[in-house]
Structure 1
Amino acid sequence: MRFSEWFPYYQAIRQEFGFSTEQDQVAANILSKLIKRKALGIKVLQRKIAGKTTLIIGAGDSLDSKIKYIKKNRTYVKIAANGATRTLIENHITPDIVVTDLDSDPAVLKKAEKAGAIMVVHGHSDNIQALKTLVPKFRRVLGTTQVMPVESVFNFGGFTDGDRCVFMADELGAKEIILVGMEFGDRIGQSSKNIITDVELKRAKLKTGKRLLEMLAKRSRSHLFDTSARPIRGFTHLDSSS
């Protein structure tokens, strides 16, 4: 998705949640400087994703019940959304890619990277201190932003870690995208993040993420599937029990 196409969606999100475009841009610039000497090129992710079947793994309530399915399909590209990383690591599954804004357990994120996961780190106005503290501890990073892209920091579209995974996989040419543990309802999975201080805000963000995925489904070049009981509109239900 071109930045000019994404920006009106971002502006609506900014107005709804009261974000600052200027501070989001500051975060992108800081992230760019932090990863200048260790940034991954976009082609690294393209080679990983293009033409492949990808599992987008979220931290929803159903994730524990999907572990067997994930292990059965280990050859698929496994993209973990932030808090889902803990459940995967605890079940001896190494994600190929972790998409994170750094609000989950840093020790788990570092363990995933050490095991071989590519870290895709998102910068926004609320995590500037986390960027400064944690990004230097990673070896190789690809950065993302929700505002104007800068050097080594890309804008694939998307808002929450989960839907941003999907936007990224679609943009980089995934053949199939399968959502696993990606519930966008009122219930919040226990693995979602360490501490949720504002449950209603989290729910509102999930609803926005769902709307964005419904929009993406209308224009996606990938085949889209959802293993949840109530699939997102535009995604084909996939039975993960067999």
Structure 2
Amino acid sequence: MSNFVLVAGAWLGSWAWDEVVPGLREAGHDVHPLTLSGLAERQDEPAGGAAGQKTHVQDIVGEVERLDLRDVVLVGHSYSGIPVGQAAERIGDRLKRVVFVDANVPVDGESFVSTWWQGPDRLQETLDAGGGLWEPLTAADCAGQELTGEQIARLTGGATPHPGASLAEAAVLERPLGELPATYIKCLLDGADPHGDVAELLATSDRWRLVEMDTGHWPMFSRPRELARILVDETARDSR
């Protein structure tokens, strides 16, 4: 049995994993979906200020320690790959595997903003225009990602503004990321190839594995049962 800690990407909370959780539990695992500070039902946390990325790392580490979890599989989607990757280093021998779902990965000294594909100035302007928040995605942003109208409505309807401080704060790595036992799930409708940092890790580390899904950026909505099966299969490989 493993303990899955599931962390969704920008704008989303623990609710985003609702259709993935049953498949993991049916396979005999414990599942702990987590909402990061400043999002969903935790929009008002921390009181008096926007949640930074270090806060998100501590959210994850704190949940693992609070529940005294062992054999932990940390799963980070999209933005959340950055705090999940750092948390994976910090929980020591509690970690079984970290899984990045079409995710960003932490790069020491770099932030989500600094590595933004359109350039950091473009995203920073968006955050400034939103008063320090990244406004939720729209239905148009979800086009071409294998989502039904109902799935798009659920995704956009549950999204909340994302705290900009978490996007602008730089990651801090304690050791090379390639030393972690990791799986990278690439969703092909969001681009056929992993971006540079991920491609290098996959090419140079014998502890990283690549799995492809022929779906869009939000597989927890478009293919939740398939995603659950992949997570179970990847964890089972570690037990052989």
Same fold, TM exceeding 0.5? no
TM bin (shorter chain): 0.3 to 0.5
Q: TM-score, normalised by structure 1?
A: 0.34
Q: TM-score, normalised by structure 2?
A: 0.34
